[in-house]
Structure 1
């Protein structure tokens, strides 16, 4: 059977990065090239100030990518080897890998079935005397219950790192993602709500000492050039070209988020198939980085939509505690909500440049599924 021509892409970065914005980015690229300074220069300085102000923090430190942001944020805390860091197991290992890379132990905690973010009640029950920090991932663009998580952290003296890679601009009570924790980490991978034209990331914080530590860690651990005073340093720097592109896009993110949210709300309202569960859209605390539906017959639904020419994906198919890299280490650990999400979740197209006719097509195809 021939593969159908795709009618609705899962993503289409050329739509965002073309037209007037593309022309402005081309001008910015020429400006950076002509300036002759390409790493940690004026564009990065300006973006760090602008992004920190946008997030509502005192500092933003540009780094090479979102994974480095997580590793460096954790490293800046100076936790003892073997300490535990609590983390949800349903976010593709990114935070877990950063924990392990720092010589620490992930403490896997189940997630809230509605938000798919770390469950505060499960978190409180899972903590041990060796737990020193929490990574709270705002999965799919939905803010975790940060009031409850911060309360638990204060009670037990724990640091909180927000993983905001999918939640640029999500807000609650006037506070944006990134302003709740001890530190927060962002990715600017091209598909993110604020995406560069390559890799990039940032750590944000209002703690002056931790900001200074992260700045050292991103550049070899230098206090001054060639003077290494902090262990675990590396070369992880946001470059001038990507910072220039991000500066142009930052003022547009709230508008793009509103469109993403509207698409997700349309799916929630109009997909009426009894075998497809579409989570509700909450409001400003949800920026619809991904629109993830659930079905006990996920693979059949995925095949049906693909046959209709609709781009879909699974975020994410293997919980962290079931990853082969751990062997049988967590074989006895049962996290039923995360395990069900891995089995049932399917991501539909949801990006700001998706047009209404394409949304209609996805809704119609979903409702026509024979599942």
Structure 2
């Protein structure tokens, strides 16, 4: 599902301190990888067998450059990926694999809804895991000079899995970015967190739901998930407040949010520590309070829209009602977003690539400019802001 719908989703990856070599002829690049693998201590025969027949895949590069899905607003994206059928299937799977989810919660503290949401959004509960040759994808992205430091280590991790008998360079397939299995894990993550949960003697993330789910739970726990703590809850915000306090850049005690007039949409607040208020589509749209566990999601994926959708879906599968979309002000189209990003970049803000995507850098810049211009600083870009700029 990542490759099909979620585009640039990447599991947490260590970023190298220095740039890795990339580019040049593809065959020369592969020869360099082979030499490096041998220098790392891998047997020459194994290295040659692993890289035999590897080829550059232009479809991988095309997928990497196509990130249109992240231009959707939260409500549109969430409604597109959280269907009634997917909710019902999640509840059925919760019963079918109840013992697996109990184990995940007992051993790693991960609630069933959290794992179910990832399983659903990544691969539609395992039904579509991607059909890209994984080795070709990883080597292609390592050769490409956009993010080689993210993918090159994954090639050597895949080689290690090959030597262990857990990776076939010819037949292993997955997402365009090299993720494998039902919850889409990269080779390094499989080495660190793969669990033979069904006890058959091998870690099978593609065919064994217990292996995939328990491995995913172990990985989330390693990211810092706090057992027994909430992650996201829908709230109602007052008509007037200091909107510059909203967003992930500000955390305040839950009691302080309550004093400002923030209320749970249903029930009571689920936590009592520090939290942030999220307004994915501004002060007139849906609103959530984000507890510390919410931030763990960003180690799984870097997209604010994906993370918020996955976190909300997890609450829905745990019994929360459908969120109230509110009546947000109209957002910007692609051309307007690009113009806005250019204007913000000209003012010295780091908005990253001018791509029309409302990412974290653009949101922070929008909020700062709204505050400077005397507009409600809710980080939601509107035509009024663009006109003032």
Higher helix share: 2
Choose 1 or 2 for highest CA Rg.
2
- Shared fold, TM over 0.5: no
- Greater relative contact order: 1 or 2 (C-alpha under 8 angstroms, separation 6 or more)? 1
Higher strand share: 1
TM-score by length of 1: 0.28
TM-score by length of 2: 0.27
